[in-house]
Amino acid sequence: MKPPTELNILSGETLSGKPLPLHRDGGQIHLDYCFGGSSEILVFQLSDGSATTQARSVPEFGDYANFKKEILAPYEAEYLKLATAHQQDQALQSFSEQLELLDEVVARLIRILRPFKVTSLDSLLGDIKINPADGSLTESHAITTNALDVLFDYQDLAHQPSSPEITEQEQRALGEYYEASLKAAQDYIARQVEPLTIMHDSNLGQILPVSVVIQFLHIPDSQWSPEEIESLPKWTQQSEYLKILEEFSLQARRPLTAYHFALYQRKLNDGTLDKFDYLAKAAARMINNRDYLAGISCLKAAITAASGESQREVLVDLRLKLAEVLESTGQVQLAADEAKQAMDEFPQSGQYGKAAALRLKYLYEMSRFPDILQEAPKYQTDDRCKSYLPQILYTSWVAHRHEKQLEAADALEKTFLSRFPDHPLGVHMHFASAMDALAASNYEEALRLLKIIEQLYPDSKIMSNVKEIKERLEKSATIPKAN
């Protein structure tokens, strides 16, 4: 069997003619394998004079503990001194827990990269197949988590504990130790990601985001800047990679971070990018992709960006879009608040009536009928709400019926049907009256109303119910009249 040639993954170059460092040891083959700056040894069981399908052990790639130890060495003595002196202090215990969480993040990010590392190794080995006996790898190399999962699971990681027992100088020492730990984590993950980006062009969307998770956990979206991008490894600062990181930022609900990645791409080509325009379009795209939470984040950022520009109608439109998305994600109270804020901030807006109608709709969805009865009357007589008067009258009618204020409901129904006889909402009023008549055994009146519905609203969604009830009434031998 001809041994495969060695690939220098860090540079992506093949060292032609130089075999992988294989050597036989009795019935085994040992392969020393370098990946991401760390060394591993794979052991293959031999059968019939050739390498077979069983690997005895595949250690976890990399040696993060040793890597971190080297970086933390200059700070370790001072940290141990502080930890000993304040071992009962809650702040030090919290700090220690934070360090453990950072290690957890690194471990999870490594697990995300592992399937890609395995397939890289598969391609290097050529005709040598790996089917580990310990079950540490599977042929499918299934990915069970991603960078977004880690980001959302540890979003409260960045926390600087403080205590009156810790002096300012000691606090600085703890800060330096954490910064060094952070650097170790970031540098280690970057070293693991870089070679994989070279070998997995088609999986960059899964691999590359791993390189920025730790930074995202420690730098809020509002504080992200071009300087943060420039502090990332140089190999990430190419247009293709920046685009992937921009998309990941949007999915991570970091719209300002995404904007800076997009702006940085434009600057590479001597271009500019309007922040409001970018955020508004990004919001529309996220909502269209049904990523509503990302869309909400973009809309909120766009509202803030537009506020300084006094764009009245644009702001109202954004707030109402935000309200609609909030409602679609079950956050109806927040939706009602957004509609109210649009009305309060810009009472002269041409969309005031729409905002009022949406506000009542959201109150209805929360069954807040007394609030509807309190707010609706002023909208009914407001010229700004004329275009949405049918919706406002209808919602008021529902609220009156729910609150057993039947005379007021009847008066609103008559007003509605006389002013808007063909409006689609009228079908529900007629149907409710028909069901009231049916409940009162006034079958003749019920049949009359059902026939009106058939005549005026033939395309109504409730038509199948209307026809079924009407047919049952008509099949009756006699239709009793009300006393």
Reply yes or no on whether the pLDDT at 155 is more than 90: no
Q: Which positions ≥6 away from 315 have C-beta within 8 Å?
A: 303, 306, 307, 342, 345, 346
Report if residue 43 sits inside a domain. Answer: yes
CB 422 within 8 A of CB 460: no
* Mean pLDDT of the 344-366 span: 95
Report if residue 156 sits inside a domain. Answer: no
Q: What are phi and psi of 400, to 5 degrees?
A: -65, -45
Report if residue 101 sits inside a domain. Answer: no
> Tokens 């540098």 identify what position?
187
Q: What confidence tier does 188 reach under pLDDT thresholds 50, 70, 90?
A: very high
Reply yes or no on whether the pLDDT at 48 is more than 70: no
Report if residue 35 sits inside a domain. Answer: yes
Q: Which positions ≥6 away from 75 have C-beta within 8 Å?
A: 173, 176, 177, 180
Report if residue 292 sits inside a domain. Answer: no
| Higher local confidence (pLDDT), 385 or 158 | 385
Report if residue 21 sits inside a domain. Answer: yes
Please give the residue range of the domain that contains residue 13: 5-61
Confidence (pLDDT) at 114? 85
Reply yes or no on whether the pLDDT at 459 is more than 80: yes
How many structural domains comprise the chain? 1
Report if residue 32 sits inside a domain. Answer: yes
Report if residue 262 sits inside a domain. Answer: no
Give dist(CA 180, CA 182) in Å, integer: 5
Reply yes or no on whether the pLDDT at 39 is more than 50: no
Reply yes or no on whether the pLDDT at 449 is more than 50: yes
Most confidently modeled range among 77-86, 145-154, 265-274, 368-377: 368-377
- At 94-120, the pLDDT tens digits run 888 899 999 999 999 999 988 887 665
Instruction: Determine the residue type at 255.
Output: P
Among residues of the chain, what percentage have pLDDT more than 70? Answer: 78
Q: Which of 131-135, 292-296, 445-449 has the lowest mean pLDDT?
A: 131-135
Confidence (pLDDT) at 159? 65
